[in-house]
Structure 1
Amino acid sequence: MIGTDTGMMPSSFQTLTPRRVIGIDLSMTSTGLAVIANGIIETHTVTSKADAGTLRSFIDRSERIAHQIDEVVQFHGTDLVVIEGLIYHGKSSSLDKINAHWWMVVKFICEYVDQEPVVVNSSQRCKYATGGASAKKDIVLAAVIKRYPQADPKGNDEADAVIFAAMGARHLGYPVEASLPLVNLEAMEAVRWGA
């Protein structure tokens, strides 16, 4: 209990529990990361060099990236992890490896952190950032720079991660934006936020 001018009240009413959200724009080469805690946004990038071309070296590389991400953002103590969804179409000849890497990192988060990440697809990310579901990467980057200047994203990967984290923070009831147009907010309704 805390004493006040009007008497005693439970201390839980005096402070809000800090919420911590991680946004991940996953990649085999350059993973963008954003952490939002107490309204402060931090951005990071985890890079990785090519593996030796064998299945074992690919698996080792993927696991190493997952651990590097954890070293940077520290998953434990996080309220919510938001990650970009799988790529179902694309021109990359490594699409199978890209998607396998995604599953391996998601498995790491689920098992190591004991938390299932929320998946946001690219059109939902674009809509939340710009109001348009098919905005180009540089348009999203420009929107992030304008709306979240403190994030200071170093490129598209970090900008995308900021959007994922911002969506997560809003879902938890701690939005980092003073306001957003209704068309942008429609992106929130399309996400499966889980239980």
Structure 2
Amino acid sequence: MKSIVAKALFSSHSYTEYRKLVADLLLEGKSTGNEQSESLTNYSKLNEARMNRLEKTIQISEDVILKLQHLDNHYIWLVISEGWCGDAAQILPILNKMALASEKKIDLRIVLRDENDELMSQYLTNGGKAIPKVIVICKEAGIVRADWGPRPEGATELMAKHKREVGPIDEKIKTDLQLWYLADKGNSVQEELVQIMENIKYNRL
């Protein structure tokens, strides 16, 4: 395992620990990350509400559960995130439910982007530090097998279309993205990650 990944794992959080970390900072009027601002704190508050709702409503399909439970090896999903990130708030509750449904085949661990710049630099998206980023590590072999993120394909296409036709990220695309996630109900994240895990299982990666 690369020393950068191993170092990040050593300081990583469980899903429950991550939720508590973000919640405790909000009690102090802060968000995670190096930059502190009222807008980032407000995004973190909004994301807390989203994650609470998703934890109650997201359902993992039976097909996905079976595939996860029949993986040949055990894996770590190391996720790079921040409390203010809207995409992370939409995706992390799904990853947590998938890991729980896998019957310990998957161990979900989370690290903060700004505290792990060296790791983030290894998993850039088009040269940018886009999050969340899921790094798939085989526990038995101790190697990184794949990565995924920062968004499902449909959400990525929506964002790309907006940038082509409108330009910079604005409130409209943030709203449109939220509506996309609501309509998708977590299905794309489940399908895309299961496909990655299946590809690893059958040595296609």
TM-score by length of 1: 0.30
Larger Rg: 1
Of Structure 1 and Structure 2, which has the larger fraction of its residues in helix?
2
TM-score by length of 2: 0.29
